Amino acid sequence: MNILEKQKRIRKLLDDNNAILLAHYYQPGEIQDIADILGDSLALSMEAAETTADVIVFAGVRFMAESASILSPKKTVLLPRLDAGCPLADTITVEELKQAKADHPGARVVAYVNSSAEIKAHSDICCTSANAVRIVESTDADTVLMVPDGNLARYTTQFTKKKVIPWKGFCYVHNNLEPEEVRKAQAAHPGAPVAVHPECRPEVIAMADFVGSTGGILKFARETDAQAVIIGTERGIMHQLKKESPGKTFIPASDHLICRDMKRMTIDDILSALLEMKHVVRVSEEIGEPARRTLGRMLKASK
C-alpha cells in the first residue's frame, strides 16, 4: 500500500470504529493531513474532553494520551507508539513534587500539561503554553509553583505580580535553540519577525517578536503582514504553516528543532493501532480522579 492507500484505510477504520484521530502539530505531515482534530495541547485536551467517539487515537506523546484517558475515562484511548514519551515530563517525580510542596507551603501548584498523570494528580491546576498566564492569575494564592518547565515559568513571571517559582525542567528541543542561531537567521532574512515557543530559553524569548503556543504561532503567521517568518519551535509545525499560508516563507531558527518522540509515530503505526486496537492507555481512577480535577480546573478557566 502506498501512503495514500494507507491514509484511506485509516480513515475507513476510524469511521467503522466510531473513532477519532487527534494529532499534534509536531507529528509527521501525512498523519496531520488525516486527523479529525489537529491542534495544540490545549485544543487537543478540549476535544478529548468533549468528543462523543468511542475510541480516541492519539498521534502525539504519552502525556497527551494520558490526559485523554483522564478526561474521558470510559473511552478507549490508543497511543500507536508506546515509546513516544516527553523528556520534559520526566524531569520531575512525585517525590520531588511532594518535597517542593513541603518547601513552599501555601503555594499553588500549576502543572504544565507536559507532565505525567501522577504529577497532575498532585497539582492544583494544569496549564498549557496557550493559557499559562491566565491560569497562574486564576489561582487564589500569591505564590505559584510551576512544574516542570522552568522556561515557561520564567516567561510567565513577566505577566503576573504573583511570585512564580520555576521547576528546573526543560524541553531539550526548545532549550537547545541558541541566541546565536536566531541572530544568524535574522541576518540571513532581514526584517523577518521571529516567532518562538515559550519553552525556549529567556535569552531567545527576549529576541522574539512573538511568543506563543504552536496554535498561537500559526495564528501569528496567518495574520502578520510579513512575508517571511523565523520559526523557533519544533519542525513539524512547518507542514501546517505552509498549508495555511502558502505564499509566505517560513525559516526554521535552527536545524535541530526536532522532537525525537513526536517523530517516532508513522502512518503504519496508526494503521496497526486501529487494526489491533493497541496500545491502550488507561489511567487508574486512583490517579485519574484527582488528575481530572486538576485538568478540569484548567478547562473551566480557559473557557
Q: Which residues bind to ligand SF4, rule: CB under 6 A?
A: 61, 86-88, 114, 171, 173, 234, 259, 261-262
Report CA dihedral (266, 267, 272, 277) to the nearest 10 degrees.
90
The least distance separating ligand 13P from the CB of residue 60, rounded to whole angstroms, comes to 7
Angle at 40 between CA 35 and CA 43, to 5 degrees: 80
In the numeric block, the cell 467517539 is attached to: 53
Task: Tell me the C-alpha distance between 124 and 121, whole Å.
Answer: 8
Task: Tell me the C-alpha distance between 144 and 235, whole Å.
Answer: 32
Residues that bind ligand 13P (rule: CB under 6 A) add up to a total of 10
Task: Tell me the C-alpha distance between 6 and 9, whole Å.
Answer: 5
Among 7, 27, 41, 51, binds ligand 13P (CB under 6 A): 41
Angle at 198 between CA 78 and CA 152, to 5 degrees: 85
Pick between residue 86 and residue 127 the one whose CB is nearest to ligand SF4: 86
Among 213, 240, 254, 294, binds ligand 13P (CB under 6 A): 213
Task: Tell me the C-alpha distance between 216 and 42, whole Å.
Answer: 11
Among 67, 114, 131, 139, binds ligand 13P (CB under 6 A): 114
Give the SS3 label for residue 175. helix
Among 32, 69, 129, 157, binds ligand 13P (CB under 6 A): 129
- Could you tell me the three cell numbers for 251? 525559516
Give the SS3 label for residue 205. helix
The least distance separating ligand 13P from the CB of residue 18, rounded to whole angstroms, comes to 26
Among 7, 14, 19, 40, binds ligand 13P (CB under 6 A): 40
Give whole-number Cα distances, 172 to 19, 254, 280, in Å. Answer: 33, 13, 27
Among 91, 214, 240, 294, binds ligand 13P (CB under 6 A): 214
The least distance separating ligand 13P from the CB of residue 281, rounded to whole angstroms, comes to 16
Pick between residue 114 and residue 115 the one whose CB is nearest to ligand 13P: 114
The least distance separating ligand 13P from the CB of residue 32, rounded to whole angstroms, comes to 13
Residues at the contact surface with ligand 13P, assessed by CB under 6 A: 40-41, 114, 128-129, 171, 197, 199, 213-214
